[in-house]
């Protein structure tokens, strides 16, 4: 079924643009509220947001939508995405909403929805909400209109939950940690949680003004935190994105540690302690072949899914796994959270440093990534992947790489792009394969 509003991770677009304006946000509130009005109890929704200026507009419109169909609203203010999922469960809410466009610049925004169990909605739920968005809303009667209230202790609740993910005997004393919050949703909670556990915490990206989220800071702009780690002679740097559901680490030498290396560390350590479930780790088709080989050497499997943390989580739930994520930094540790949580994952990394006594540069580079190259090709219409010449180029590339490499060709879920990724032990060969396929796609586009 084609989707009009929902993409790979909720609804996202230019705030105030043709897709994502206040009117649409109110429709989402009305439709999602109506869809989750089940049973005769007093229904409620938890709404959190990041620090974008457009969040005020989106929040108020959503409140209007939910209350108009008879659902009470609990507003938390700026809070990470995993915190909204947590509070949705803890407060026995019928639905949770996070207003965020994650790592995108400030002019974008988005709406992520969680069910009463704290998990992102299924395709079936999203399709049902889409259908209701295009229908006339069924408004509540005057005495049944919902109420809205703002809670002041949401940040404290989340900080407490995050700290509970560590064993009682773990203290972070002696560690100097740079925490980059991307001027985003975790600007208060992440530095506080790490400081409360004993670390010497140096916070950056903690002065949001509505316009600077992800601007030169955070997990997608690493130059600033790399420089700060070296300047402060810190033991490690923790880089979060705008809604704090992803993590990239900077070691004490200023080198980047991506999600694949973080999964290798947590998965292997949990396996040795008998804590890993499912016998492996779940990641996407974009994770490096080096991770797969490392896990195999540890007697563990790597289960691959389509790109998107919701696909990772779905496979984790079906297979009983408790560690999963993406190379880009989404880390899902399902013992502690129902969605990606960069702060919880960071604490696992810091705990490993404390227990091993090893520096981040030694502990977090567990395998050598094989050469990997990703290029994007824009197209105007049609489907270039249906062209015979493109199919032949892909077949030739697969044959060229053989068993020593991988080829992943996919359409972007948000832009008219064909993404071409190859990896293998020979960097020159990988580049030739990618360039050949890209040339074929361009010719067919």
Which one is catalytic: 54, 100, 102, 219? 102
Domains 11-152 and 175-363 share a fold: yes
**CATH fourth-level superfamily of 372-444:** Alpha-D-phosphohexomutase, C-terminal domain (3.30.310.50)
**CB-based burial label for 281 (10 Å; 0-12, 13-18, 19+):** buried
In the residue annotation, 102 being an active-site residue is answered as yes
Q: Under CATH, to which class is 11-152 assigned?
A: alpha beta
Q: Which fold has domain 175-363?
A: Alpha-D-Glucose-1,6-Bisphosphate; Chain A, domain 3 (3.40.120)
Contact 208, 240 (CB under 8 A): no
In the three-class reduction of DSSP (H, G, I as helix; E, B as strand; rest coil), residue 15 is classed as strand
Mode of pairing for the β-strands spanning 405-411 and 417-424:
antiparallel
| Cβ(123)–Cβ(135) below 8 Å | no
Please say whether the dihedral angle defined by the alpha carbons of residues 352, 357, 359 and 361, taken in this order, is positive or negative. negative
pLDDT, one tens digit for every residue, the chain (445 residues): 468 899 878 999 999 888 899 999 999 999 999 999 998 899 999 999 999 999 999 999 999 999 999 999 999 999 999 999 999 999 999 999 999 999 999 999 999 999 999 999 998 999 999 999 999 888 999 899 999 999 999 999 999 999 999 999 999 999 999 999 999 999 999 999 999 999 999 999 999 999 999 999 999 999 999 999 999 999 999 999 999 999 999 999 999 999 999 999 999 999 999 999 999 999 999 999 999 999 999 999 999 999 889 899 999 999 999 999 999 999 999 999 999 999 999 999 999 999 999 999 999 999 999 999 999 999 987 889 999 999 999 999 999 999 889 999 998 866 789 999 999 999 999 999 999 999 999 998 8
In the sheet with 323-325, reading across from the earlier edge strand, the strands are: 301-305, 280-284, 323-325, 331-333
3-state secondary structure of 237: strand
Give the DSSP H/E element, type plus range, for residue 160.
Answer: helix 154-163
Whether the CB-CB separation of 338 and 119 falls below 8 Å is answered with yes
In the chain the first and final C-alpha atoms are separated, in Å, by 25
Number of Cβ within a 10 Å radius of residue 158: 29
Q: What is 354-390 written as a DSSP string?
A: HHH---HHHHS--SPPPPEEEEEEE--SS-GGGSHHH
* Cβ(360)–Cβ(407) below 8 Å: no
**Sign of torsion, CA 197 203 205 206?**
positive
**Domain spans, the chain:** 11-152, 175-363, 372-444
Triad 331, 336, 339: Cα angle to 5°: 45
């Amino acid at each position: 079924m084609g989707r009009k509003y929902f993409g790979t991770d909720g609804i996202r677009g230019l705030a105030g643009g043709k897709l994502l304006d206040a009117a649409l946000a109110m429709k989402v509130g009305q439709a999602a509220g109506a869809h989750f009005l089940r049973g005769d109890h007093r229904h409620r929704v938890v709404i959190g947001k990041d620090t974008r200026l457009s969040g005020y507009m989106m929040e108020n419109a959503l409140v209007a939508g939910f209350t108009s169909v008879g659902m009470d609203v609990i507003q938390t203010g700026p809070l990470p995405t995993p915190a909204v999922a947590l509070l949705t469960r803890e407060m026995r809410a019928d639905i949770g909403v996070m207003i965020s466009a994650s790592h995108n610049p400030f002019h974008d925004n988005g709406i992520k929805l969680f069910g009463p169990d704290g998990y992102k909605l299924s395709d079936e739920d999203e399709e049902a909400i889409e259908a209701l968005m295009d229908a006339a809303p069924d408004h509540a009667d005057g005495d049944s209109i919902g109420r809205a209230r703002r809670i002041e202790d949401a940040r404290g609740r989340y900080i407490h939950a995050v700290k509970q993910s560590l064993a009682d005997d773990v203290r972070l004393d002696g560690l100097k940690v740079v925490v980059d919050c991307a001027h985003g949703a975790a600007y208060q909670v992440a530095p506080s949680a790490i400081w409360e556990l004993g670390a010497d915490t140096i916070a950056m990206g903690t002065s949001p003004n509505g316009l600077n989220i992800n601007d030169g800071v955070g997990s997608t702009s690493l130059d600033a935190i790399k420089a700060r780690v070296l300047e402060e002679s810190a033991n490690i740097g923790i880089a979060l994105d705008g809604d704090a559901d992803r993590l990239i680490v900077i070691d004490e030498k200023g080198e980047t540690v991506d999600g694949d290396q973080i999964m290798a560390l947590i998965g292997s350590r949990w396996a040795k302690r008998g804590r890993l479930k499912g016998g492996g780790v779940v990641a996407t088709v974009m994770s490096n072949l080096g991770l797969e080989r490392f896990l195999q050497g540890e007697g563990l499997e790597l289960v691959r899914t389509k790109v998107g943390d919701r696909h990772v989580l779905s496979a984790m739930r079906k297979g009983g796994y408790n560690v999963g994520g993406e190379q880009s930094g989404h880390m899902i540790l399902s013992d502690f959270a129902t969605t990606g949580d960069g702060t919880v994952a960071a604490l696992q990394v810091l705990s490993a440093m404390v227990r091993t006594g090893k520096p981040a540069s030694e502990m977090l580079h567990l395998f050598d990534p094989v050469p990997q190259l990703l290029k994007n090709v824009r197209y105007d219409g049609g489907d270039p992947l249906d062209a015979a010449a493109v199919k032949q180029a892909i077949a030739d590339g697969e044959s060229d790489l053989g068993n020593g490499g991988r080829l992943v060709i996919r359409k972007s879920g948000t832009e008219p792009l064909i993404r071409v990724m190859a990896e293998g032990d020979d960097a020159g060969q990988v580049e030739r394969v990618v360039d050949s396929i890209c040339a074929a796609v361009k010719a067919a586009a």
